[in-house]
Chains A and B, each alone.
Chain A
Amino acid sequence: MSEPMTDTDRPILETRSLAKRFSIGTRFSAEGRRTVHAVDNVSLSVRRGETVGLVGESGCGKSTLARCLVRLYDITDGKLLFEGDDITSKSLSELRPLRRRLQMVFQDPSASLNPRRRVGDLVAEPLRIHGKLSAREITARVAELFELVGLLPDHVMRYPHEFSGGQRQRVGIARAIALNPDLVVLDEPVSALDVSVQAQIVNLLADLQEKLKLTYIFIAHDLSVVRQVSTRIAVMYLGSIAEEGPAEEVFATPAHPYSQALISAVPVVETTPAGARKRIILTGDVPSPLKPPSGCRFHPRCPIAAERCRSERPELKEYRPGRKAACHFPTLT
């Protein structure tokens, strides 16, 4: 154990070698019972007030990790600490007071809002469950929340379908912040929205973070959005973290060959002739988490893979203060 830390630099949330495995099939199915290594050996710490962006291709385990972080999934292995307190295997009733402080916003606001209930009622629900507020106080708080997220006071009586996608996501956010949480996990909060609306929600999230001193874990597949909102990012590949570091630095000088390929693949608006930017095109698909490759999990697609990568799995190492990469040959610039 390390030395005692002061409250400010102690991480608000921390994982130690966290793993989540799912069993699929039965002993009667053709391949028998098999194990999906969805999240594997993830050690990540989140400091108070920062935004950690999780990026990676679909199936890389970022959403599974997010759900483990708020204990929507049970954790198979490793530890999850909230403010230094081990919550890996706390029972649901023990978790209840924590739920207030750990909230989640989902991708599709129309799927996470009950269509038969008025949105004011939906936002009041967490207050009724957790709070000790009177009916009048709840009404006042809902009005306050609506103002915070940029909805009009008379919107409380409407149903979710009466809103546009952007407004529905505002309702989802109001629900998540209703109990004054410390940490909010945002799983693709802008992906389902129209391009012209995404920027509004990104700005709203930034405003709320400042006002309410929130800590975010932000998941998105749109890399430019992640860069915009995150102070730090973790690039995931096949269930593990390939690279971690300050967002702007990782985007400017990615060290892991996978991050390099991922970032170079983002189409950007350029006025110079097409194809001027150097692009690394990865061959093949992401391997199945049922049968992860030996050694470095990225080696079958890696342009610089060597013999060592096939046999020896690289650890996520800090090669410079703040910058970590799980690669035997990181690009150091």
Chain B
Amino acid sequence: MADGTMPLLEVEGLRKSFFGVTVLHDVGFSVKPGEALGLVGENGSGKSTSMNILGGVHQPDAGEMRLDGKPYAPADPKAAIAAGVAFIHQELNLFQNLSIAENLFVDAFPRRGGLLPLIDRKAISARTEAVLKEVDLHMKPSTEVARLSQGERQLVEIAKALSRNARLIIFDEPTTSLTRPEVERLFAIIERLKQRGIAIIYISHALEDVMATCETITVLRDGHLAGAGAAKDLSLQQIIAMMVGRSIDTIYPQRSGTTGTEVAFSVSGLTQPGVAENIGFDIKAGEIVGLAGLMGSGRSELARMIFGLDSFRSGRIEIGGKPLSEPTPVKAMEAGIAFLTEDRRGEGLLMDFTIAENTVLASLRDVAGAFGILDGGKIAKVSLEMASAMRLSTDKVGEVKVKHLSGGNQQKVVIGKWLRRQPKLFILDEPTRGIDVGAKQEVYRIINGLVERGSAVLLISSEIEELIGLSDRILTISRGEITGSFDRRPFDREAIMTAAAGLTARLEAAL
């Protein structure tokens, strides 16, 4: 492996900032033909930015990229594709109503000779069949994509990359929505791609997968290069240590008061085929329970089922000692559950509406009198109170639309809208996603205040540090099952990450 082959792609001194915030500092890596580079790091470590630069979505502020020794600076995604760099996103970009073959050629169908612009079906069929064989997908080229499983669709994306003569294929979290057999199959394909001399960049949170597939591994942390090396020389523990790196600094505020003894919320035997298996835990009043899991582990799905947004087959939920059967959002709210969704723009807020309108949306009954008539004065008062309690950047709550607020302020509005209801249980799904450090700190302060007043909190986060910094207890979830429970501080960070990756059993066996 350490032979003298020229790298296919070399990246040096990559630097990028958005709005004055530097998100990449002198990042560099390289990948040789026929090899896979694993790129790992926590959320916000700079993986996606680096890849977006490679894929032509963003332009770097500084740094050099070379493909085959020649300068490579794609101006847009099309240029990247033309240069032989294919990007397989987590959300696949396929037309479900078209066939596999049509998806491969939709932007440039080969035509039959003659006057009429007819598609050369034979040609696309033959070419599709050839690339499908390479990715080991034994389907007719005429099969409609809608009929394929998630794993099969991914193979179609790979076939699409091959049909465009890709020399470097970037996989972004390719395994999150795949079943285990599909994952194995994907790995076999990646091996075959490598044998053909194609270079791979593999991005994933699932470290074991990365170690199994990649020859070299590069670790990013906070936009810096945190470490790199050959996969065979690195242990899982070493990689995790590089990813986590820094110690928890002071951004997590101290909390006064103690956890109560009474159970505020409990769930037992929660099962939904394909999503959750026999999930059970409880949360005490004044306690924060962190839920650690990879993307696609079922952590958000669990939250949605508890709040009544998704159905489940069996299981029992109790809140404040009372059962909550067949929850709907309305019932869950009446029982005292609040839910901060991970999709702030899509589900959390009405972007075109004012701060005040959003603030009272979940507690309209409290600001309405007889016949549901709203009390304008009360709405203004409530919203202003919220704005000052949340330290919002503006107090023009009746005029400013939330789409004009920064991400951090938007998130404060979403939290504020639920705090109004004094929830017994507050489910927070990624409460600090996409907001800056200052706003994060404020959100932590708000969460602590909430708990001090006796609420129970279920905190879901991709950032392990956040979980460690805030939680009284951490549960790990993997493939829809609770895989571990970690009591009290100091938390064993690496053990939690390992359990969240679903590795406990295997790791213990190895040790």
Q: Do A and B bind each other?
A: no
Which residues in B have some Cβ–Cβ distance to A below 8 Å? none
Which residues in A have some Cβ–Cβ distance to B below 8 Å? none
